[in-house]
Every structure is written in structure tokens, then in C-alpha cells.
Amino acid sequence: SDLQKQEERGELLQPLIFVLLVLCSVLLYFKVSLMDPGFVKSEEEAGNSEEQSMVIPQVPSNIKMRRCGYCLVKQPMRARHCQLCQHCVRRYDHHCPWIENCVGEKNHPLFIAYLSVQLVVLLWGGHAAWSGLYFEQSWDWLRHNIFLLMSFLLIVIFTIVVLLLLISHLYLISCNTTTWEFMSHHRISYLRHSELENPFDQGVILNLWRFFC
């Protein structure tokens, strides 16, 4: 049959890989959306003082943990309260409206993996849409290709957004900082009173290693 001939020629391999990538992207989306991003639990308070003492030495020792005014737990360093999630989140990065969840200590690496897979899917889809376009200066051509053309333009827009988001996150990870710390540096006590611009930075290689491994 035609299907067997296509399989023998290897023509089904690329569509199969593309479908698997889309499935992987969907699974990562739900995983990142539904998992605990690193919520600070009240029962963890007993271990917070020990954790605070093990913080990188460049952080001023006179910076004490404060109690959250919303959920009343003691916030470990780099945690922040998210009013949308109604929880304090460890190593808070930002609340992502696309996944309807915070990006924090536990799901940040998976969020990067999701963006990476999504970027590959978008680039592949954009290539497929572009290869299906052949341009003619006529209304009849536009009427028959308007859906494919709009799909390509949407893919381009989403690709640019995902690419910029991925690049910005990889840059912040390589500096061992978060979106919240980068945007609100002047308002965060442990950064404002530190002698260093970023007391958590231990070099690009070590920063990446500790984040992903």
C-alpha cells in the first residue's frame, strides 16, 4: 500500500517526530501548570533558620527573614507572595498567565524545557507553513491561501515571543537571578543592602549547573 511505501522511504518519520514533539509540549504544559512551583508551607518554618544561615556569604547577615503579611509564613530568602496563587513561592520568578501558575523553585527548569520544546514545534510548523505557500498577485490566490498565510503570520508572532522569553530566562539563569529580582532590585532588602550587584552569582557554568542539575 501507499502507507507501507512511504514508511519504507522514511517519509513517515518526520511527521511522527513532529507529533511526538507536540505531545511532549502539551504534557510539559500541563505538568508545569499543575505542579507545586515551590509553595512555602507553614510546617517548614522550623528549618528556615538553618537554611537562612547557609545562604551565600556575600548576602548581609543582618538581613532577617520576615513574616508574610498575607499568608503569615516566614519567607525564606528569594521567596515572594503571589496574590493570584495566594501562596509564598520559593525562588519566585513570576506568575505566568499562560500556564495560570507561578514559576518558582520547583517548576522553573521544566518551564525552560517547555519553552524549548514549544520553540522547536513553532519553528517546524513555521517551516511547514512557509513551504506550502507559493505567491501570486491575484485575489483568487489570496482567497485560497488566506488561512495558510494567517497561520504562518501567527506562528511567526508566537515564535518571536517564545524565543525572546527563552533567551531572557536563560540569561537570568546564567546570572543566578530571577525576573522578580531583576525587575525589583531596588526594593528587595537582601539585594539593596548587599555590596555586590548580585550576591548569588557564582559564575555562568556553576549557575547553569546548579539550576539544571
| pLDDT-above-90 percentage for the chain | 54
Judgement on whether residues 82 and 164 belong to the same structural domain of the protein:
no
Look up the domain containing 81 and give its range: 38-45+64-105
Judgement on whether residues 169 and 110 belong to the same structural domain of the protein:
yes
Task: Tell me the pLDDT tens digit for each residue of 32-83.
Answer: 999 999 999 876 554 554 454 444 545 555 556 678 888 888 888 899 999 9
List 24, 88, 96, 213, catalytic entry: 96
Q: Which of 50, 51, 22 is nearest to 38 (CA)?
A: 51
Amino acid at 70: Y
Beta-strand runs (E) in 18-118: 80-82, 87-89, 94-96, 101-103
Grid cell 493570584 in the structure block, residue: 84
Active-site residue, 96 included? yes
Judgement on whether residues 122 and 100 belong to the same structural domain of the protein:
no
Judgement on whether residues 125 and 26 belong to the same structural domain of the protein:
yes
When the pLDDT of each residue in the chain is averaged and rounded to a whole number, the result is 84
Residue 49: per-residue pLDDT: 47
Neighbours of 16 (CB within 10 A): 10
58: in domain: no
Burial of residue 121, with CB atoms counted within 10 A of its CB: 0-12 exposed, 13-18 middle, 19 or more buried:
buried
Higher-scoring residue by pLDDT: 47, 150? 150
51: in domain: no
125: in domain: yes
201: in domain: no
Neighbours of 8 (CB within 10 A): 9
Judgement on whether residues 158 and 128 belong to the same structural domain of the protein:
yes
Sign, Cα dihedral of 204, 206, 209, 212: negative
Judgement on whether residues 85 and 132 belong to the same structural domain of the protein:
no
The packing angle between helices 108-131 and 139-174, to 10°, is: 160
CA–CA gap between residue 100 and residue 33 (Å, rounded): 6
Domain count, the chain: 2
pTM recorded for the entire structure:
0.83
Q: Which of 102, 36, 100, 101 is nearest to 92 (CA)?
A: 102
Judgement on whether residues 112 and 167 belong to the same structural domain of the protein:
yes
Judgement on whether residues 170 and 129 belong to the same structural domain of the protein:
yes
Judgement on whether residues 113 and 88 belong to the same structural domain of the protein:
no
Judgement on whether residues 168 and 111 belong to the same structural domain of the protein:
yes
Could you tell me if 164 and 172 are in contact, meaning their C-beta atoms sit under 8 angstroms apart? no
213: in domain: no
Cα three-residue angle 18-20-22, rounded to 5 degrees: 70
Look at 16-25, 107-116, 166-175, 192-201 and tell me which has the smallest mean pLDDT.
192-201
140: in domain: yes
209: in domain: no
Judgement on whether residues 81 and 99 belong to the same structural domain of the protein:
yes
Judgement on whether residues 154 and 73 belong to the same structural domain of the protein:
no
206: in domain: no
